[in-house]
Amino acid sequence: MTCLPAHTEKKLGLVIDLDTCVGCQACVTACKEWNTGGHMAPLTDIDAYGGHADGVWFNRVHSYEHTTEMGGRTVNFPRSCLHCEQPACVTVCPTGASYKRASDGIVLVDEDKCIGCKLCSWACPYGAREFDTDVGVMKKCTLCIDRIYNDNLAEEDRVPACVAACPTSARHFGDLGDPTSAISQLVAERSGVDLMPELGYNPTNKYLPPRAHTGRSAKVDAPALEPIRAEGGFLGWIDRMLSN
Partner 1 sequence: MHPAFAIVFFTTATGAGYGLLALLGVLGGLGFIPADFWLGLVGMALALALIAAGLLSSTGHLGRPERAWRAFSQWRSSWLSREGVASVVTFVPTALFGIGWVFLGRSGGWVAGAGLLAAAGAVTTVCTTGMIYASLKPIAQWHSRYTLPAYLVFAAMTGGVLLNVLLQGFGLGSTAVLAGALLATLAGWGWKLATWRYNDRLEIPTTANTATGLAGGTVRSVEWPHTQENYLLKEMGFRIARKHSTKLRRITQGLAFALPALLLGGVFVLPWPVALVLSALAAILQFAGMLAERWLFFAEAKHTVTLYYGRE
Of 50, 59, 47, the residue nearest 21 (C-alpha): 59
* Smallest separation (angstroms) from partner 1 to the CB of 12: 20
The Cβ-side half-sphere exposure at 181, using a 13 Å CA radius, reads: 16
Least Å distance, CB 235 to partner 1, is 37
Bridge-based pairing state of the strands 98-100 and 107-109: antiparallel
Determine which residue in the list 37, 96, 167, 236 makes contact with partner 1, applying CB under 8 A: 96
Among 9, 22, 33, 54, binds partner 1 (CB under 8 A): 54
In whole angstroms, what is the distance from residue 49 CA to residue 45 CA? 9
Restricted to residues 129-168, the positions that interact with partner 1 (CB under 8 A) are 130-133, 135-138
Binders of partner 1 among residues 65 to 84 (CB under 8 A) are 65-69, 74-75, 77, 79
Dihedrals phi, psi of 206, to nearest 5 degrees: -120, 155
Please report how close the Cβ of residue 224 comes to partner 1 at its closest, in angstroms. 18
Site residues for partner 1, 215-244, by CB under 8 A, read none
The DSSP result for 132-183, as a single string, is ETTTTEEE---TTHHHHT-TTS-GGG-S-HHHHH-TT--EEEEETT-TTSHH
Phi/psi at 237 (nearest 5 deg)? Answer: -65, -45
Residue 104 Cβ, how far from partner 1 at the closest point, in Å? 20
Point out which span in 63-71, 158-166, 168-176, 214-222 binds partner 1 (CB under 8 A): 63-71
**SS3 call for 17:** strand
Of 199-218, binders to partner 1 (CB under 8 A) are 199-201, 207, 209-210
Closest to partner 1 by CB, 64 or 237? 64
Alpha helices in 62-137 (DSSP H): 88-91, 119-123
Q: How many residues sit close enough to partner 1 to count as binding (CB under 8 A)? A: 71
Which one of residues 97, 106, 159, 161 is an interface residue with partner 1 (CB under 8 A)?
97
| Residues forming beta bridges with residue 79, ordered by sequence position | 60
Q: Using the rule CB under 8 A, which residue among 33, 193, 202, 238 binds partner 1?
A: 193
First-to-last alpha carbon distance for the chain, in angstroms, is: 68
Q: Which C-beta is closer to partner 1: that of 148 or that of 184?
A: 184
Alpha carbon distance 197, 72 (integer Å): 24
Positions in 24-43 near partner 1 (CB under 8 A): 25, 28
Selected binder of partner 1 within 37, 95, 150, 169 (CB under 8 A):
95
127 near partner 1, judged by CB under 8 A: yes
